[in-house]
Amino acid sequence: MLFHNVALQSWGYRLPDEIVTSAEIETRLARLYERLRLPEGRLELLTGIRERRFWPPGTLPSEISIRSGEATIRAAGIDRREIGALFHGSVCRDHLEPATACRVHHGLGLSPSCLLLDVSNACLGLLNGILLAANMIELGQIRAALVVGTESARPLVETTIAALNRDTSLTRETIKPAVASLTIGSGSCALLLTDCRWYRGGSPLLGGVAHARTEHHQLCHSGSDEAGPGMMPLMETDSELLMREGIATGLETFVALRQELGWNAEGIDKTVCHQVGATHRKLLLEQLGLPLANDFATFETLGNTGSVALPISMALAAESGHLSYGDKVALMGIGSGINCIMLGLDWQHVANERGADMFAFPEVAHAISIPKK
Q: What residues are annotated to the active site?
A: 97, 123
Give the residue among 203, 150, 184 at the shortest CA–CA distance from 305. 184
Q: How far apart are CA 116 and CA 146, in angstroms?
A: 10
Q: How far apart are CA 96 and CA 237, in angstroms?
A: 23
Q: Is the peptide bond before 338 cis (omega within 30 degrees of 0)?
A: yes
Going through 213-287 in order, the beta strands assigned E by DSSP cover 220-222, 235-237, 270-273
Q: Is the peptide bond before 112 cis (omega within 30 degrees of 0)?
A: no
By CB atoms closer than 10 A (0-12, 13-18, 19+), residue 259 is exposed
Q: How far apart are CA 223 and CA 225, in angstroms?
A: 7
Give me the amino acid identity at 70.
E
- Classify strands 295-296 and 270-273 as parallel, antiparallel or unpaired: parallel
